[in-house]
Amino acid sequence: MATIDKTSKGARLGQFTQKLGALLGLIILIIVVTALNPSFIEPLNILNLLRQVAINALISFGMTFVILTGGIDLSVGSILALSSAVTANLLLSGINPIIAIVLGCLLGGVLGSINGLLITKGRMAPFIATLATMTIFRGLTLVYTKGNPITGLGNQASFQFLGRGYLLGIPVPAVTMVIVFVILWIVLHKTPFGRKTYAIGGNEKASIISGIKVDRVKIMIYSLIGMLSALAGAILTSRLNSAQPTAGQSYELDAIAAVVLGGTSLTGGRGRIVGTLIGALIIGILNNGLNLLGVSSFYQMVVKGIVIAIAVLLDRKKT
Amino acid sequence: MHIKMNDIYKSFGANRVLTGVDFELLDGEVHALMGENGAGKSTLMNILIGLHKKDQGTIVIDGKETYFNNPREAENFGIAFIHQELNIWGDMTVIENLFIGKELSTSFGLLNTKEMRRLATEQFERLALSIPLNQEAGLCSVGEKQMIEIAKALMTSAKVIVMDEPTAALTEREIQKLFEVINKLRKEGVSIVYISHRMEEIFAICDRITVMRDGKTVDTQPISETNFDDVVRKMVGRELTDRFPTSNAKTSDIVLEVKQASKRGQFKNVNFFVRSGEIVGFSGLMGSGRTEIMRTLFGIDSLDEGDILVKGKKVVIRNPNDAMKAGIGFVTEDRKDEGLVLDFSVRDNMVLTNLYSFAPKGIINNKKEQQFVDVLIQRLHIKTQSSSTIVRNLSGGNQQKVVIAKWIAIGLSVLILDEPTRGVDVGAKREIYQLMNELAERGVAIIMVSSELPEVLGMSDRIYVVHEGKISGELTKAEATQEHIMRLATGGQ
């Protein structure tokens, strides 16, 4: 039929910009920042940048799954803080650092699954459910730490390695980010689970009728982002050698921004995790580059906000 | 109002959608505009009301060349378009809907509710409607919503009303009501363009008919000078020998049996069975409980009481997944809302019911998936550029085939189809019937819920009629007539 050609051409163009629009933005940003301050492109700064990006990227990967189903998770920063505090205390009690990290991640998973249960079984809107748990988890962190940072984590090499170490000259957080990215890319694009994630965001009713256990998939996804937030928290704790009760505040906004910059639709069903990686890099470069250029942190916020608005405006235009 | 559209051309990019269409609408006539999906009917009407710009051609209204820049201008001129997708704000009241965007105000700038109420009441009396004006519009039935749209159009003192598939979601009773209104309007000199896929209606209500095919006008003639076969031939450009293809399926053992099934407020003590290779029709008015019975059978809603037996064994169905495990597939009545992920490709939709069989080691085997999908596309004659075409871009008939393919993928033994040919054009309808027959021949038990009586009569081996949540009758193919079914469906004996 004649009309098919036209729309599929439009769809192809859409897919093209969805794939490459963010990448193009990233390249332009790198060129601009380098032109303004050539020291940006030096290996040392790039490695530093990757380490900075890792924490936001890990959370953003999880956020991609959440947003693909049409949901949102505002509680990531609070999960990060609570699991970090617990991990730090476990370390203080002399437990093996690896076990402490794993337990911290599991706690993150449990906290995430609470979100999932509220949203599926409790039929709450994701925004409201995670707004509530954001407050609850932050409050619990403050109660648990009595509002004080947990410091003096000692000199356990295996724990310090997570946030401060290098593997073949590359910062360990960056390596972790890449490994997690590859795994999640495979999950999203090559497994039934990934296909279901897209299907739920595309049409939840049709997914239920196609026999997809929508509730279960959603709970698993909120659990996943919880674990990733906890992992990011462990990296942060290792880097700072302390767990702060106020850690991770407004991290949810950076994560959502990275996902949106990467071209994932907030209504669900459409988007790519590669885009999120690029989106996280863009935000990281903005932070890093603007620092290098000596822009005050107040103006940095203005610039970041403008970039996000422009990216979404361009995204609107194409559809 | 007299409208004459001459030699209209329209292309979208490289696609020539209209290539020299002539269309004439007389004062006070009901004019059927027929054609398969993609023939250009909607484009033609959209050009008339100024939604699209023509490339070539003239539009003469009452002797003067007239063009509209947008639908609003056309509306002010007296031409209203009632789209297939109804524009009803469900959270607002009926009267708010009637005046949306055209609210009357007092000289203080406040809403003039008194005057609006007076006009609305007047209009409703004219149409003999009894919908409360202060009711939330979302609570109205589809038929009532349709009537609200018509009233809204008449509110603007429309002289021409274009109706696109007005009866697609209406019950028989509501259709009769609509026809009464159309007859009344005709007497008052209002002209109506009536777009529909339902032949029976065209012959029941229209004065003249224009058939379009591939962007051209095939013919315009008085309805009395043509007949069913003639119209179909002109629409598809070839002879369609039989409307309902015959089946060679042999019925054997009972595959599915439902015993004493009840769900409070929806249906009570429902008993029925389906044999392997049998097509069983479910007839009844909309809201009679037909669809609810099927949704419960498939586990979307849960049963209060009763047993479901598949191949003689009792099964418990709590969710669609349980139903699928029992070998039941369900083609819902609303394929866009519940059948398809519209942004997914044909391939991704087809395998959605059966993902794990393509991922034995956890990773989806794209090659295996592709082969499987290619076979189904061929077997079901799905017209698509490729398996990666986004399903939104397919015609209604082909979309419906993709939904059916989803269920073939699970290796099913019972297939429930709810309004399988709604919004599907004549040629594709027949292909869906053929597909049903083919499945029956392979031993699948088929349940077809349908509001179209000719379809029920033409396709079913046996018919259950549902009335107010109860099965009011069971008819064999030989006993069943339209009158008999209607009698049972409306509570007669």
Binary contact (A190, B363; C-beta < 8 A): yes
Q: Which residues contact B47 (CB under 8 A, 6 or more apart)?
A: B5, B8, B10, B18, B53, B54, B59
Interface A-B: count of C-beta contacts within 8 A: 106
Q: Would an 8 Å CB–CB cutoff place A267 in contact with chain B?
A: no
Point out the residue among A190, A191, A203 whose CB comes nearest to the CB of B341. Answer: A203
Q: Would an 8 Å CB–CB cutoff place A196 in contact with chain B?
A: yes
Does residue B340 contact residue A206 with C-beta atoms inside 8 Å?
yes
Q: What is the pLDDT along chain B (493 residues), one digit of tens a residue?
A: 899 999 999 987 767 789 989 999 999 999 999 887 667 888 899 999 999 999 999 999 998 998 999 888 898 899 998 887 778 888 999 999 998 888 888 888 888 889 999 999 988 888 778 889 999 988 888 778 888 888 888 887 889 999 988 887 777 777 888 898 899 889 989 999 999 877 888 899 999 999 998 888 998 999 999 888 888 888 877 665 567 888 888 888 999 999 999 998 889 999 999 999 999 999 987 778 899 999 999 999 889 999 999 999 999 999 999 999 999 999 998 888 899 999 999 999 999 998 988 998 889 999 999 999 999 999 998 988 889 999 988 888 889 999 999 998 888 899 999 999 887 877 788 889 999 999 999 999 999 999 888 889 999 999 999 988 999 999 998 898 888 887 888 776 6
CA distance B77 to B68: 9
Binary contact (A206, B393; C-beta < 8 A): no
- Residue of B48, B23, B341, B291 whose CA lies nearest to B171: B291
- Residues in chain A with CB shorter than 8 Å from the CB of B15 are 2-3, 5-6
pTM: 0.80
Q: Which residues contact B59 (CB under 8 A, 6 or more apart)?
A: B3, B4, B5, B6, B8, B47, B48, B65, B66, B67
Q: Identify the bridge partners of residue B274 per DSSP, sorted by sequence position.
A: B256
Binary contact (A192, B359; C-beta < 8 A): yes
Going across the sheet that includes B313-315, the strands are B267-275, B254-263, B305-310, B313-315
First vs last Cα of chain A: how many Å apart? 22
CA distance B411 to B443: 11
Binary contact (A8, B389; C-beta < 8 A): yes
Within a 13 Å sphere around the CA of A272, how many CA atoms are in the beta-carbon half?
16
Binary contact (B359, A191; C-beta < 8 A): yes
- Residues in chain B with CB shorter than 8 Å from the CB of A5 are 13-15, 385
Residue type, B215: G
Q: Identify the bridge partners of residue B16 per DSSP, sorted by sequence position.
A: B11
Does residue B23 contact residue B34 with C-beta atoms inside 8 Å?
no
- Tokens for A106, please give them: 């599991």
Q: b/e per residue, A110-125, with b = 16+ CB within 10 A?
A: ebbbbbbbbbbeeebe
Give me the long-range contacts of B115-120 (CB less than 8 A, separation at least 24).
B119/B155, B120/B94, B120/B95, B120/B151, B120/B155
CA distance A255 to chain B (A): 25
Binary contact (A8, B15; C-beta < 8 A): no
Q: Which residues contact A247 (CB under 8 A, 6 or more apart)?
A: A77, A80, A81, A84, A233, A236, A237
- Residues in chain A with CB shorter than 8 Å from the CB of B339 are 206, 209
Q: Would an 8 Å CB–CB cutoff place A297 in contact with chain B?
A: no
Cα-only R_g, chain A: 20
- Residues in chain B with CB shorter than 8 Å from the CB of A191 are 359, 362-364
Q: Which of residues 197-256 of A touch B (CB under 8 A)?
A: 198-199, 202-203, 205-213
CA distance B51 to B31: 21
CA distance B111 to chain A (A): 35
CA distance B478 to B161: 42
CA distance A310 to A14: 17
CA distance B23 to B8: 9
Binary contact (B395, A1; C-beta < 8 A): yes
Binary contact (A212, B406; C-beta < 8 A): no
CA distance A265 to chain B (A): 12
